[in-house]
């Protein structure tokens, strides 16, 4: 028996007992049976919706499988080998990409505000840098380094 059938059976059984729905016990049993009928109805609706969604998901999965098969059939493993041959580094050299000079030394100074500032040799030769956090001018000299040599 389905839930709907069981709820209908209980409602019929309650009606067959001819309970007095004016008394507290009869009101309570009638309310419980009505509640069971409502829950059964809602549950059936949810079950139907779930089945419909499941069927649609199955169809989508089949469509995606077909698309995947179509794409994979068009691609050939040789296409990947041809890609390496077609790639030309010279096409990308003039694109303005600057990955930095690997031989450049990066210096680091800590400002009084606690901010750590990185700078290169060009900034070191200028002799000063302004902290972007607090605006304080940090000065440095190359004389100490030259004396040590």
* 129/69 same-domain check: no
Per-residue pLDDT tens over the stretch 93-148? 444 445 555 567 788 888 889 888 888 888 878 888 888 889 888 887 767 555 54
* 114/62 same-domain check: no
* Ramachandran bin of 10, using left for φ above 0, alpha for ψ from -120 to 50, beta for the remaining angles: alpha
* 122/60 same-domain check: no
- For residue 23, the SS3 value is coil
Flag whether pLDDT at 90 surpasses 70.
Answer: no
- Looking at residue 104, what is its pLDDT? 73
* 12/67 same-domain check: yes
Cα–Cα distance measured from residue 19 to residue 33, given in angstroms and rounded to the nearest whole number = 12
* 12/70 same-domain check: yes
Domain coverage including residue 108: 100-148
Per-residue pLDDT tens over the stretch 63-72? 999 999 888 8
* 110/54 same-domain check: no
- Looking at residue 129, what is its pLDDT? 87
- Please give the share of the chain, as a percent, with pLDDT higher than 70: 75
Flag whether pLDDT at 85 surpasses 80.
Answer: no
Q: What is the dihedral of CA 111, 116, 121, 126, to 10 degrees?
A: -30
Flag whether pLDDT at 10 surpasses 60.
Answer: yes
- 14 part of a folded domain: yes
* 14/66 same-domain check: yes
- 93 part of a folded domain: no
- When pLDDT is cut at 50, 70 and 90, the band that residue 14 belongs to is confident
The mean of the pLDDT values for the chain is: 80
**DSSP sequence for 107-135:** EEEE-TTS-EEEE-HHHHHHTEEE-TTT-
Q: Kindly state the DSSP code that residue 142 receives in the 8-state scheme.
A: S
Q: How many domains does the chain have?
A: 2
């Amino acid at each position: 028996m389905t839930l709907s059938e069981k709820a209908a059976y209980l409602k019929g059984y309650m009606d067959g007992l001819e309970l007095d729905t004016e008394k507290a016990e009869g009101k309570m049993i009638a309310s419980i049976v009505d509640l069971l009928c409502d829950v059964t109805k809602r549950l059936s609706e949810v079950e139907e919706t779930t089945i419909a969604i499941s069927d649609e998901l199955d169809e989508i999965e089949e469509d995606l499988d077909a698309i995947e098969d179509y794409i994979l059939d068009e691609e050939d493993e040789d296409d990947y080998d041809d890609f390496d041959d077609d790639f030309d580094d010279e096409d990308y050299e003039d694109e303005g990409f600057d990955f930095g000079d690997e031989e450049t030394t990066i210096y680091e100074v800590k400002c009084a505000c606690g901010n750590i500032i990185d700078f290169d040799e060009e900034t070191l030769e200028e002799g000063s840098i302004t902290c972007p956090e607090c605006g304080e001018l940090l000065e440095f000299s190359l004389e100490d380094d030259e004396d040590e040599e």
